Amino acid sequence: PVVLGIESSCDETGAGLVRDGRLLGHALASSMDEHARFGGVVPEIAARAHVHALTPVVRGALADAGLRAADIGAVAVTTGPGLSGALQVGLAGAKGLAYALGVPLYGVHHLAGHVAADTLEHGPLPDPCMVLIVSGGHTSLLLVRDLARDRIVHLGDTLDDAAGECFDKVARVFGLPYPGGPAIDRTAREGDPRAVPFPRPLTAGPPEKRFTFSFSGLKTAAARWAESHHAGGRPLPVADGAAALQEAVADVLTRKAVAACSEHGVGTLVVVGGVAANSRVRALAEKRCTAAGITLRVPPLRLCTDNGAIIAAVGDLLVRAGAEPAPLDVSIDPSAPLEYAALHPVTAG
């Protein structure tokens, strides 16, 4: 069947249509510009924007695919994690559509969407593969056997900030525009990554923290470095700061991910999520994987950040795995655990 995927966990409203692992069409709206003057996503504004964007985006995806609503055979929707008001809008729309069309509904974990994104470009994930999820809210290493059947081992997480959050927060301190990750990436091109010796948190042991990340210390180090320039009345060499920060983040992420592959004897590393769009993360991952004999898979840039196609990709995997659909009174789960691709029915009342 054609699976419609709906995404509304943060500031992007996305719809995508997938059948048998192939992307048929998609459409995306973003309220990013409405949040820019606040320096971060305002939940209430995001939720309201989803209400306005949802129907046009679903229509847009159908038009892009040359399909009609009656062609939809299943609906998949992000049920968590994310902003509750934003998630509620997508889920309400998805339930309405599934009910009206008489098709099954699947509640999808947003991060499973980020993982499945790569399948739309590079085909089914090998069993096993190592997945590094690096996004605005998460930094995690997962050993994935079968995404749709929840054969996922969660190896490690960040203790504090996510990698994307670190980029976004440091960009603010550096006076770079919102959103910070892409701005750091652009600015870093003009800078020297060796200009500032930023720390590489949790890379020098203890062994039990080898797959654990921490980025708040790096954020503080970058802020102190900026303050020392301001206090001394010296202009801030922003490009050098951005390049050095990006190098530190890319170094830590790729070092730990490659070490996880080696330790678990896994031959494929998949890097997904918004920060997988970062040029230095991609380049260093490529270099280190090649050196270690590991196959690297990274989705194309447009599939790294939030959209509906990646949610449809999970729905398509679930349908083909014969997963149980969600009941129509299914609720959002803003803190769904990473080990589950689909929402494990939490019913209302």
Which residues of this protein are in contact with Mg ion, per CB under 5 A?
Answer: 10-12, 306
Q: Which residues bind ligand ATP (CB under 6 A)?
A: 9-10, 81-82, 110, 114, 135-138, 164, 167-168, 179-182, 184-185, 273-275, 277-278, 305-306
DSSP label of 61 = H
Please tell me whether 64 is known to bind a ligand: no
CB atoms within 10 A of CB 322: 8
User: Which is closer to Fe ion, CB of 118 or CB of 306?
Assistant: 306
Cα–Cα distance for residue pair 15/27, rounded to 1 Å: 5
Amino acid type, 254: T
In whole angstroms, what is the distance from residue 221 CA to residue 216 CA?
A: 9
C-beta of 62 vs 248, nearer to ligand ATP: 248
Among 79, 88, 119, 135, binds Fe ion (CB under 5 A): 135
DSSP 330: B
Residue partners of 217: CB distance under 8 A and separation at least 6: 199, 201
Q: 2 and 75 in contact (C-beta within 8 Å)? A: no
- What residues between 310 and 329 interact with Fe ion by CB under 5 A? none
133 is in an annotated binding site: yes
For the bound state, the minimum distance from the C-beta of residue 183 to ligand ATP, rounded and expressed in Å, comes to 8
Residue 168 assigned to a binding site: yes
Examine residue 8 and tell whether it contacts Fe ion (CB under 5 A). no
Query: What does DSSP say about strands 22-30 and 12-19: parallel, antiparallel, or unpaired?
Result: antiparallel
* 72: Cα within 13 Å, side-chain hemisphere: 30
Pick from Mg ion, Fe ion, ligand ATP, none: which does 85 bind, CB < 5 to 8 A by kind?
Answer: none
Q: Binding of Fe ion at residue 306 (CB under 5 A)?
A: yes
Question: Is the CB of 11 or the CB of 316 nearer to Fe ion?
Answer: 11
User: What's the closest the beta carbon of residue 163 comes to Fe ion, in angstroms?
Assistant: 12
Residue type, 32: M
Phi-psi region of 141 (alpha: psi -120 to 50; beta: other; left: phi over 0): beta
Q: Is 60 annotated as a binding residue?
A: no
Interaction between residue 240 and Fe ion (CB under 5 A): no
Tell me the DSSP string of 4-66: EEEE-SSSEEEEEEEETTEEEEEEEEE-HHHHHTTTS--HHHHHHHHHHHHHHHHHHHHHHHT
- Nearest approach, Cβ of residue 82 and Fe ion (Å): 8
If one asks whether residue 165 binds Fe ion (CB under 5 A), the answer comes out as: no
**3-state SS class at 111:** helix
Task: State in angstroms the smallest separation of the CB of 315 from Mg ion.
Answer: 20
Q: Which stretch binds Fe ion (CB under 5 A): 27-35, 123-131, 227-235, 300-308?
A: 300-308
Which partner from the list Fe ion, Mg ion, ligand ATP, none does 168 bind, CB cut-off 5 to 8 Å by kind?
A: ligand ATP
Residues near Fe ion (CB under 5 A) are 135, 306
